[in-house]
């Protein structure tokens, strides 16, 4: 694998872990009642613990590969002089130091009491998602208003994490050994997802307009535009599945309350989650692709 391929893979895995770290506790807090939260707690807790570990490992891999990409290889990246220059003489250094502290905090949160660690992971996940803006295209606003791209990015990534990161909670509720109030959980999640999708679309449009200064045609015949188109198609498929789940599968679940209905809905949500993971991969690739000027 080339350095760029490793960089994309590390970003992909890292972003996916952060989506879980933020989206899962948010979904539990906003969509699950006390009894349902208790029933799915063991599975959710295991997933969040794994996400914290994966986020830390993939985050280190991302940082190491980022330095290697800047210096020409991993051997050069491991040089004390290179590390000193990166952390203390570049604009990325302070951001990465904060990121490392947050990743360590995500691991330490495992020892907190149950209620505190879910809230801690929610906060840490949000801060990590926001922190990565300073390592990507959004930090270079160019001729755009100061901070406008950063705000649009923050809204976009947090809304995306709220949407995609909540899918595992729905699956845990649908497949729990002790029956959950699935209709109530899914209805509340539907409201959360609707708000998230609206924010994703608005902030995505703003990001695109900021990037090309209002001239959408600049995306044509560019690698960035092609990847963005793939991402949009994947999101469109997710929205189609979301509409099916909300307007067809959920009413059937509320009316029948049979396990086959719940299993079928779990399969549909699983497919939506898989598409969400692919969207995260497209976003990871966009982050290292030069945008149109």
pLDDT tens digit at each of 293 positions of the chain: 788 899 999 999 999 999 999 999 999 999 998 899 999 999 999 999 999 999 999 999 999 999 998 888 888 888 998 999 999 988 889 999 999 999 999 999 999 998 899 999 999 999 999 988 777 665 555 445 557 788 888 999 999 999 999 999 999 998 887 878 888 898 899 999 999 999 999 998 888 777 766 556 667 778 888 898 999 999 999 999 999 888 887 777 655 555 555 667 888 999 999 999 999 999 999 888 887 76
Instruction: State the burial class of residue 217 (Cβ atoms within 10 Å of its Cβ: 0-12, 13-18, 19+).
Output: exposed
Q: Which residues contact 90 (CB under 8 A, 6 or more apart)?
A: none
Q: What is the pTM of this model?
A: 0.92
| Radius of gyration of the CA atoms of the chain, in A | 20
pLDDT at 215: 59
How big is the CA angle at 52 (ends 129 and 287), to the nearest 5 degrees? 35
**Measuring CA to CA, which residue among 125, 153, 126 is closest to residue 139?**
153
What is the crossing angle of helices 182-212 and 259-286, to 10°? 20
Find the helix or strand (DSSP H, E) in which 278 lies.
Answer: helix 259-286
Q: What local confidence, expressed as pLDDT, does residue 236 receive?
A: 95
75, burial (CB in 10 Å: exposed 0-12, middle 13-18, buried 19+) = exposed
Which helix (H) or strand (E) is 122 found in, with range? helix 114-131
CATH architecture of 3-286: Up-down Bundle (1.20)
**Spatial distance between the Cα atoms of 10 and 69, rounded to a whole number of angstroms:** 13
The pLDDT value recorded for residue 143 is 47
3 state DSSP class of 214: coil
Q: Which of 168, 159, 164, 152 is nearest to 195 (CA)?
A: 159
């Amino acid at each position: 694998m080339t350095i760029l391929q490793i960089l994309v893979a590390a970003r992909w895995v890292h972003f996916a872990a952060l989506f879980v770290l933020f989206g899962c506790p948010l979904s539990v807090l906003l969509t699950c009642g006390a009894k349902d939260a208790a029933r799915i707690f063991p599975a959710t807790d295991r997933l969040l613990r794994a996400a914290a570990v994966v986020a830390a490992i993939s985050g280190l891999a991302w940082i190491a590969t980022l330095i290697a990409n800047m210096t020409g290889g991993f051997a050069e990246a491991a040089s004390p002089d290179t590390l000193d220059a990166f952390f203390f003489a570049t604009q990325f250094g302070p951001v990465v130091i904060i990121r490392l502290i947050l990743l360590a905090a995500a691991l330490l949160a495992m020892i907190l009491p149950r209620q505190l660690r879910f809230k801690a992971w929610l906060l840490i996940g949000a801060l990590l998602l926001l922190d990565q803006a300073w390592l990507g295209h959004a930090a270079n606003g160019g001729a755009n208003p100061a901070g406008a791209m950063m705000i649009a990015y923050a809204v976009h990534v947090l809304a995306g994490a709220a949407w995609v990161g909540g899918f595992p909670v729905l699956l845990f509720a649908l497949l729990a050994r002790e029956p959950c109030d699935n209709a109530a959980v899914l209805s509340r999640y539907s409201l959360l997802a609707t708000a998230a999708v609206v924010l994703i679309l608005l902030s995505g449009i703003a990001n695109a307009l900021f990037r090309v200064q209002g001239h959408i045609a600049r995306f044509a015949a560019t690698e960035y535009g092609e990847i963005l188109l793939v991402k949009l198609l994947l999101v469109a498929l997710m929205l189609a599945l979301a509409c099916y789940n909300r307007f067809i599968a959920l009413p059937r679940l509320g009316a029948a309350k049979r396990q086959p209905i719940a299993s079928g809905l779990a399969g549909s949500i699983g497919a939506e989650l898989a598409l969400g993971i692919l969207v995260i991969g497209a976003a990871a690739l966009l982050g290292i692709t030069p945008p149109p000027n």
